[in-house]
Structure formats: C-alpha cells, structure tokens
Amino acid sequence: MAITTCVFDAYGTLFDVAAAARLAAAEPGREALADIWPKLAEDWRRKQLEYSWLRAVMRRHDDFWTVTQDGLDWALEAAGLDDPDLRERLLALYWELQAYPEVPAMLARLKAAGLATAILSNGSPDMLAAAVASAGIGEFLDDSLSVESVGIFKPDASVYALVGGRFGCRPDEVLFVSSNGWDAAGAAGFGFRAAWVNRSGLPMDRLPARPHHVLSDLTTIPDLALS
C-alpha cells in the first residue's frame, strides 16, 4: 500500500528538546548551568517521558505542560540548582524550541509530492502551536494532533488511531516518524510504517514490535515515503 500520510512525533523528532538548556547555559550569569546542561537536559527529558508513561498506567492524565514542569523540577533538584529564575527561563525557552536543521526542507519535499503531513504528539495543543510557529514550519503541516483529545499519552493505541480519524487513511498508508524507539515500536505495532530517528545510536528497544526503518536524521524521510 502506498504511503499517503506522513506523521511525526514533535519533541526530539522535529524539535530539539535539548535547545532550552543549551541556550540558557550560554546566557550571561548562568555559570552554574554551563558545565552541566547536557545532563540536566537529559534528566529533564527522561523524567518528562517517565511521568507520561506512569500517568498513562495509573490512568491519572494531566496535560503535557504539567508533566514537563514536573520533569524539570526533578532535574533541577537532582542537579542541586535551587534557582527560580533559571526554572522560569528554561520553561520559557521550551515554548521556543528550535527545529532540527533538516526539518523545513524535508517537510517541503513531502508537501510538494502531495502527501498529507501532521504532528502526533503528547504535547498539548497550545504547546504544539507555539513550537510550530517558533520553528516557522506551519505551512508544511496539515494538522497537529494532540493526545489531549483522548486523555492518555502514547503509546496507547487510541493516540495512533487519531491519524485515521483525521485523514481517513488506513494504518498501512501512514509513515510514522519518531526519535523515540518505544514510540516508533508502538506505531509499528498499531500497523503504521514506522521510522525511528536514532540520532544517538542507541540500541533497539526490546518490545513486541519494531520500527521498519532506523535513520540517523530526517533527511531521507521523503525517499522512504515515496519509494
């Protein structure tokens, strides 16, 4: 079945989640962050994801902005940084995350080929709207789908089902792209054609399904979609 729809995870896939800590660390007066920002960014992201999974298991949903703040608070405490101004700066920067360099041209190729394109994310609608606007990629996306419409985080199957409901496509007509191995596996298990963007060279997750493609960045996504 030919691919008609390309769907992307947002954070870590289209948008660089480490950018907030990296940019804050470069600002004057942030010497305490300068040497540890990679670890802080890693801890922040890890806890953000862990809290989303745990909330899904406990059936205690809250919006992704709350989860993002909770993850940051854990990471700051683990780093020994009790700095309310830094916390507020990091949260503000999260609303202005940079897209990875190859993203605009990649999306433009997909749209020029006539494919539907969308985000499918744990992010709340207002977070996604801000990220898309900040990155300047709105013209290349048909929609941004949020888990808030089903009230549970990925990889619950009801989240992946949002794509067919929005675009009227079969699962095997969808190329789903994520930087999270567990997310790509969840999408593959749902029936999507799944690509894992493994920028860090991590091992494959041991899960019931596996992504169909493993890539180092997003550059070749149009080639996969159109092949």
For residues 137-153, give the mean pLDDT: 97
CA dist 93 and 51 (Å) reads 21
CA-closest candidate to residue 67, choices 80, 56, 82: 56
Q: Tell me the three state secondary structure of residue 48.
A: helix
What are the backbone angles phi and psi of residue 191, rounded to the nearest 5°? 120, 0
Torsion of CA 199, 196, 61, 49, to 10 degrees: -30
Place domain 19-94 in its CATH homologous superfamily.
Putative phosphatase; domain 2 (1.10.150.240)
DSSP-assigned letter for residue 100: P
Residues 123 and 146: beta-carbon distance below 8 Å: yes
The CATH topology of domain 5-15+98-226 is Rossmann fold (3.40.50)
Residue 113 has pLDDT above 90, yes or no: yes
Residue 12 has pLDDT above 90, yes or no: yes
How far CA 30 is from CA of 77, 130, 212, in Å, comes to 16, 25, 42
CB-neighbour burial class of residue 191 (10 A; exposed 0-12, middle 13-18, buried 19+):
middle
CA dist 137 and 149 (Å) reads 23
Cβ partners under 8 Å of residue 91, min gap 6? 68, 69, 72
Q: Residue 175: beta bridge partners?
A: 6, 193
Confirm whether 172 is a catalytic residue.
Answer: no
What are the backbone angles phi and psi of residue 11, rounded to the nearest 5°? -80, 120
DSSP-assigned letter for residue 157: H
pLDDT tens digits, one per residue of 46-95 = 999 999 999 999 999 999 999 999 999 999 999 999 999 999 999 999 99
Active-site residue, from 9, 16, 43, 183: 9
CA-closest candidate to residue 76, choices 90, 55, 66: 90
For residues 169-182, give the mean pLDDT: 98
Q: Taking the domains of the chain in order of start, what are their residue ranges?
A: 5-15+98-226, 19-94
The overall average pLDDT reported for the chain is: 97
pLDDT tens digits, one per residue of 96-106 = 999 999 999 99
CA dist 50 and 20 (Å) reads 19
CA-closest candidate to residue 91, choices 13, 23, 152, 151: 23
Whether residue 155 has a cis bond before it, omega within 30° of 0: yes
